[in-house]
Structures are given as C-alpha cells and as structure tokens.
C-alpha cells in the first residue's frame, strides 16, 4: 500500500492498517497469525493518514487524508466491539465523524489511556484535544490551545508526534527542534469561554538536539526517539532516567518493545540508567 499507516492493539492481538487515496482499504488483522479478519473499503473519501486504537482496542480513531475536491479533513470514531464479537460478519461504520478546522492538516492521533473518550491530534502548528460524549455517540467536541512563541521567549518548531502521560493530566507534543510542548489543564487560570479541564501550553522543554520523531509511554516512562540517533527514557516529570547509546543506526523514527514473556532480544548496544546522583551507570 502507498502511504500506509498502522496501529497495533496494546495486547498485540489486533493490527489495523490503511492507506491514503480514493481506493483506500481499511484492514483488520489477527496479529497472532497474520491473517485479515475484516476489511472496509473507502473508510474516507481520500483515504486514511493516521490510526489510533483505544487501550482495550474496543474503539478506533482515524484521521482522513485531505479530500482534494472539498479540501476537508475528517476525524472519525469507530466502535469495534461488534467486530470483536463476530469478526467479518458486520459492515463496520463510524459512530461519529467531524470535520477538522482548516488551516493545519493533522497528521497524528492518539487516545488518552486514562480516559478513552479523549483524543489528541496534531499537525505542524496546532494540536487539538477532542472529546466524545459516550462510546457510539455522534457528538465530538474539541479545544485547540493557542501557542505563541512570545509566551516562552523562543521559536517553537513544527509539531511531529503527541502522547498523553499516563497517571497525569499532561500531554506532550514533540517538535522538529528537539523540544516537547507540555500541555496541562488550565485549572483556576482558565480564561473566559474555556473550561478548567481545557489544556494550555505549560512549558517547552529541550529533550534532544534534533527532531523527535518518536514519542510514546511504556512502563511509566516517556520514550523519545530522535534524528540524533538516540533513544531516551524520562519519568513523568521529564527527568531523564535511562537512555540507549551506541545504536549506530542513524535517525530513530520508531521504537517498539517486546511483549511480556518474550525472550529479551540481543542487541549491540548499552542501556544506561541514572543513579541518585544523576550520573549514568
């Protein structure tokens, strides 16, 4: 498939793939045996550019490619429970679809693991926090927090990837400059017309010296992979606690981890951890 995108369930039982274009195909795979269990033709008029699965894989979000005829990009939510109960027997339809405001094409989507009714998408210059009312509901609301360079006395690079930080109210968006934007709830500082739970840009932190293409969370750690060839691990306060060096494999675009019970893979690398003094070991 050209311009293919994929999403893997947390328990690695289900893999979903799709591509962009007018004749796109959304395919659901049994990841254990590598066989398709359901297909959906033309999930969006212009195809799919990004997919995300909820932590229990009962819900799915898709970002469409921009329709060349209308200029519209869409976010769709899908209830996968009928598919899970009886694979291949139902005609899967989105439970909700909403147009994305024009001006910045969105390229990434992720679920809040602590609240699957909330999602985060980002393009190059804007991030949107979306909320669905209930599983299967057709109502989707959003809030896009402003981010001005003057607020942080520095230019902020193009956005690349986003993730929610488990166990907190924060979310992160990485940039082409090696920074992450930290989003958090406004609380008592909420401006008129916004809610206390709406996010705002809290700070911008430099985590790498080059573009951060990979951003995820595993085992309570935030994991980054960047164009400088480094993979780093941070705690929920973004203090570096471990890192991989000597990868010697060029820019890092994606990081994945072995599932529980698998034998630890052998690799020509060394993992360093920080001790209490902040020194690597």
Looking up tokens 């899970």 gives 84
Query: For residue 280, what are its two tokens?
Result: 């690597």
Where would I find the H helices in 104-229? Answer: 149-152
Separation between Cα atoms, residue 207 and residue 160, nearest integer Å: 14
Q: What is the pLDDT along the chain (281 residues), one digit of tens a residue?
A: 458 999 999 989 999 999 999 899 999 999 999 999 999 999 999 999 999 999 999 999 999 999 999 999 999 999 998 887 666 656 789 999 999 999 999 999 999 999 999 999 999 999 999 998 765 567 799 999 988 777 788 899 999 999 999 999 999 999 999 999 999 987 766 566 667 678 899 999 999 999 999 999 988 899 999 999 999 999 999 999 999 877 788 899 998 887 665 444 333 344 555 544 444 44
Going by C-alpha positions, the residue among 126, 172, 173, 177 that lies closest to residue 154 is: 177
Could you tell me what percentage of the chain is helix, strand and coil, using 3-state DSSP and rounding each to the nearest 5? 5, 45, 50
The domains of the chain, with CATH numbers, are: 1-103 (2.120.10.30), 147-259+266-281 (2.130.10.10)
Q: What is the pTM of this model?
A: 0.87
């Amino acid at each position: 498939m050209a311009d293919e995108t994929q999403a893997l369930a947390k328990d690695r039982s289900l893999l979903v793939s799709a591509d962009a274009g007018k004749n796109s195909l959304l395919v659901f795979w049994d990841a254990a045996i590598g066989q398709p269990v359901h297909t959906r033709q033309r999930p969006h008029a212009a195809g799919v550019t990004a997919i995300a699965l909820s932590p229990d894989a009962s819900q799915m979000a898709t970002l469409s490619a921009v329709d060349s005829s209308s200029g519209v990009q869409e976010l769709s939510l899908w209830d996968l429970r009928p598919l899970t109960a009886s694979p291949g027997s139902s005609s899967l339809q989105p439970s909700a679809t909403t147009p994305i405001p024009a001006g910045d094409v969105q390229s990434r989507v992720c679920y809040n693991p602590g609240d699957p009714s909330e999602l985060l998408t980002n393009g190059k210059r804007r991030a949107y926090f979306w909320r669905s009312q209930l599983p299967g509901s057709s109502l989707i609301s959003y809030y896009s927090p402003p981010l001005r360079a003057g607020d942080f006395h520095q230019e902020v690079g193009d956005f690349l990837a986003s993730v929610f930080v488990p166990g907190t109210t924060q979310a992160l968006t990485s940039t082409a400059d090696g920074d992450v934007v930290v989003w958090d709830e406004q609380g008592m500082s909420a401006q008129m017309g916004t809610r206390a739970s709406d996010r705002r840009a809290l700070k911008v932190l430099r985590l790498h010296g080059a573009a951060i293409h990979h951003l995820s969370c595993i085992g309570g750690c935030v994991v980054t992979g960047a164009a400088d060839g480094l993979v780093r691990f941070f705690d929920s306060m973004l203090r570096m606690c471990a890192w991989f060096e000597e990868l010697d494999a060029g820019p890092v675009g994606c990081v994945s981890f072995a599932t529980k019970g698998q034998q630890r893979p052998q690799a020509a690398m060394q993992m360093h951890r920080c001790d209490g003094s902040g020194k690597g070991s």
